[in-house]
Amino acid sequence: MMNTEELTAYIKNYLENDKTRSAIMLTGAWGRGKSYYIQNVLANELNKCNYDIAIVSLYGLKTIAELNKSIYLELRAKKTLKKLASKKKNKETKKNNKLFNWLCKHGKEAASGTALLGKTIIKGVAGFFNVPVEFSDKDLEKLYTSINLNGKLIVLEDLERSGIDIIEIMGYVNNLVEQDGVKVLLVANENEIIKYEVKEETDKDGKKIQKKVSTKITEEYLRIKEKTVSDTISFYADINDSVENILRLFNNHYFNEALKEKTDAGIPLIVDEIENVMFEVKCYNLRALLYSCQKTLDMFLKSLGDCEISYFRFVLCSNTAFALKLSQNSNLEWTDNIKSPNELGSYHFPLYRCCYDYIKRQFFDSEQFKRDESAYIRQKTFEVKQKDLQTALDILYIFYERTETEVSAAVEKIYEYLKEKENYFPLGQYSKLANYLIAARQCVNDEKIIDSCKEEILNKLHGTVLNNEVIHDLTYHDGIELWTDKQKDEYSAFKQEMLKDTKVESIVVLGKISSPDDVKKLADSICDNFERYVGGRDFAGRLDMDGILETLPNCNAGLIGRLRGAIMQLYRSVNIADFLAADKPALTLLKEGIAKMIADGKIDDKVKALQLKWFIGNLDDIITRLS
């Protein structure tokens, strides 16, 4: 399989040296970048070597006469424009006619092949200058024969989409290459041309069998193709290069900044992310990517003020996932706020509702777009801080293998996070943290920071209502064995002080669930306290599962959906397993309880049953991601 450089070299060799009097074909699936390659890579390379190239799309053409006219107009564009310009070159026209001025400015570029003009545009221009283009077939033949086709490449795109009978086109191409010696490149998605049908046959034993055979039109096409086309090349474009080239087309602040951040392999991070989106969606349609880029740029240009580049990257990836899916199914619709973000975008890049509305309905809510950005930044900041803190904890927990400088820096980092308003530490882990801080006291360059950390731990625990599980974790935990009596006494006294500063409650912190109103309060609490619950690292274990399962049958479908939405929001982060992996057993119990509830016939409303089945699917997905 050739890369683009090898393909270009092959086509140049075909132009210069091929004596077979046959065409060549480039085939590949729709949206894989064939047209982009021809118009932006091949045309530029051939122009550098002074080869003319006429690129004509067969899409929409209905007769060979129209095809002849299109080829003629493409090849004669430069000469035609010059003649037309000289006829109308007067001061008044130059001053007053924008179209004429445009021709004078861009005629050279248009004729060079870098901005090929279509037949409709040329006809309009010619008509403006009183030059007739509706010639008779006899007149056209005289014009066509005036073209010197030596050293020129005729590229016929969209072979499978033409309104002209494909056998007629192939016969036409055969005449061009065999009789006139013209060099022709056919571009097609041959999978849309070659068709099969199932025929029933009888084998030698008299049994009827079904056999897949080519249709008659396909067989005729293959016969004439064998005579007309010497080589068929499967188009392959390096996805990384293709994606990066498309992004660079936009030459905008957001795109340029997004392309700066690189992976370890030296690939722009945004390119790597988009390729991963394509792999996840199982679609590599570059036309869909181009569409996504344009829509995304439109949104950010309409936005109220500048946006973060990280948010731009996220929106571009989620819009790309949606555009790729739309290229496969144009009927996709937003169904609800729970499933649609992931189903229309991807799990790594959920689609925002305001982006969906702009792509599908051309309605853009700039205020909601900025609110989404704020929420995105809050969540990402929280996740980054969690990772940063975990790095410091990892050093502290093996302080006896690190340097004094490393341990001191780690403890300082931990102290910074203890002072934060948000709680980034699981409540049950404070005893273990204190254990290691006391053990590492003599290994840091300023022992006073250990006392400062202990003070902040007490501040975090002061007045906090804890359930029995957290009390258990504060009392019994893994840690490091303290080796001096002074350390042991300090730790014992501090543990008692921690427990004294808290309030013990036998039920879960989130409260008992006994009515639909309690379920509503729980859903609202999850949405309002996202960071705190994720930071607690044991959210589901603190839920009143029995109360929830007893109350759900009494909730209406809307309230069940509200709770589902809150749970999905809490666990939507890609790396949620880093924070709430301990929730898996409790969520499994909830999933099994809902399934049993449905199986036992406790749900008498079909809409409620549907919501609960969706809930089971959501929980199953969360449990998988927590594994």
Of 443, 339, 344, 466, nearest to 395 (Cα)? 443
Instruction: Tell me the average pLDDT across 408-433.
Output: 88
Say if residue 87's pLDDT is above 80: no
Highest mean pLDDT among 49-53, 272-276, 375-379: 272-276
Say if residue 84's pLDDT is above 80: no
Write the single-letter amino acid at 43: A
Say if residue 489's pLDDT is above 70: yes
pLDDT of 121? 35
Domain ranges of the chain: 4-76+147-234, 239-364, 377-504, 516-626
pLDDT of 126? 46
**Where is 408: in which H helix or E strand?**
helix 404-419
pLDDT of 398? 94
> Residues of the chain with pLDDT > 70: what percent?
82
Q: Which of 25-39, 111-125, 317-331, 516-530 has the lowest mean pLDDT?
A: 111-125
Q: Which of 116-130, 157-171, 256-270, 420-434 has the lowest mean pLDDT?
A: 116-130
Instruction: Tell me the average pLDDT across 537-564.
Output: 87
**Where is 178: in which H helix or E strand?**
helix 166-178
Q: Average model confidence (pLDDT) for the chain?
A: 82
The model's confidence at residue 82, banded by pLDDT at 50, 70 and 90, is very low
The model's confidence at residue 83, banded by pLDDT at 50, 70 and 90, is low
Query: Which two structure tokens, joined as six digits, stand for 572?
Result: 């939507």
Of 226, 169, 235, nearest to 22 (Cα)? 226
Q: Are 121 and 77 in contact (CB under 8 A)?
A: no
Instruction: Tell me the average pLDDT across 237-245.
Output: 84
Q: Helix count (H) and strand count (E) of the chain?
A: 31, 9
pLDDT of 294? 96
The Cα 106–Cα 123 span in angstroms is 17
pLDDT of 181? 85
Pairing outcome for strands 23-27 and 229-234: parallel
Query: Which two structure tokens, joined as six digits, stand for 113?
Result: 């092949």
pLDDT of 420? 87
Write the burial class of residue 363 (CB in 10 Å: 0-12 exposed, 13-18 middle, 19+ buried): exposed
| Beta strand spans in 417-547 (E) | 465-466, 503-504
> How crowded is the C-beta side of 52, counted as CA atoms within 13 Å?
20
Query: What tens digit of pLDDT does each residue of 591-611 get?
Result: 999 999 999 999 989 999 999
> Residues of the chain with pLDDT > 90: what percent?
42
Which class is 4-76+147-234 in CATH? alpha beta
Rounded to 5 degrees, φ, ψ at 183 are -95, 125
pLDDT of 393? 93
Query: What tens digit of pLDDT does each residue of 442-483 get?
Result: 999 999 999 999 999 998 888 776 666 666 667 667 788 889
Say if residue 508's pLDDT is above 70: no
Rounded to 5 degrees, φ, ψ at 60 are 90, -15
The model's confidence at residue 288, banded by pLDDT at 50, 70 and 90, is very high
Angstrom distances, CA of residue 531 to CA of 169, 428, 487, 527, 569: 64, 17, 34, 9, 11
Q: For residue 323, how far is the Cα from the chain centroid?
A: 8
The model's confidence at residue 95, banded by pLDDT at 50, 70 and 90, is very low
**Where is 185: in which H helix or E strand?**
strand 183-188
State the sign of the Cα–Cα–Cα–Cα dihedral 112, 115, 120, 124: negative
Instruction: Tell me the average pLDDT across 403-417.
Output: 95
Instruction: Tell me the average pLDDT across 111-128.
Output: 38
The model's confidence at residue 426, banded by pLDDT at 50, 70 and 90, is confident
